[in-house]
Amino acid sequence: MSTTKVFLILVTLTGAIISFALASDPEPLQDLCVALPNSGVRVNGFACKAESNVTESDFFFSGIGKPGVINNTVGSLVTTANVDKIPGLNTLGVSLARIDYEPGGINPPHTHPRATEVVFVLEGELDVASITTSNKLISKKIKKGEVFVFPIGLVHYQKNNGDTLASVIAAFNSQLPGALSVASALFSSKPAVPDDVLAKTFQIDATVVETIKTKFAPKTG
């Protein structure tokens, strides 16, 4: 094999390895790095607490063991178990969440910019779907004991079309996967996306845009 071909193969393999490495959180360089969010140090993640100050509570969270109280118009509640709740997750590249849905409730279309999501159904049945960059809808009805995967960055949603409560546990390959709601991002950002941009995008009248924005305005009183 020629030197040129060997060089090209090495370049290709190196690129593939780098791409894979960049697809998830960086690997830890020590046994643990418990997050110290109030340190004032800005890094890609959080600064580490001194190991002498680390306790078992840095690795514990009991907040996803039972259903949360749903009190919103979409009929679902996401309870996160990420590095904000479990400081010991810092640099480990994993986190969980629990999502509860009332009958008819939906976890509206959204993306996770930093993680793939895997959901395991605890109770009930859900209609779930993700949308690829070629606008292909990949959808399925899933029930208790079943698993579904939402690839990193793709818009996806879950909806409870049943007449009983539904719940899932979601796993992520990031300590802080982030969540960007499509509707909220477009209609409640600060500063606001200009009405004419949204009107042109959705081919609707600007007055309709204003009406939609009122649905996402913070409740007062």
Binding-site sequence positions for oxalate: 107, 112, 117
From first CA to last CA, the distance across the chain in angstroms is: 75
Distance of CA 40 to the CA centre of its chain: 25
Strand order in the sheet with 117-123: 76-81, 95-101, 166-172, 117-123, 147-150
- 95 phi and psi, to 5 degrees? -165, 170
**Between 195-202 and 206-216, two packed helices, what is the crossing angle to 10 degrees?**
110
Cα–Cα dist 218/221, whole Å = 10
Annotated binding site for Mn(2+): 110, 112, 117, 156
Cα–Cα dist 150/171, whole Å = 10
Annotated binding site: 107, 110, 112, 117, 156
Which tokens hold the place of 56? 């078992």
Which helix (H) or strand (E) element contains residue 149? strand 147-150
Report the half-sphere exposure of 19 (CA within 13 A, side-chain side).
6
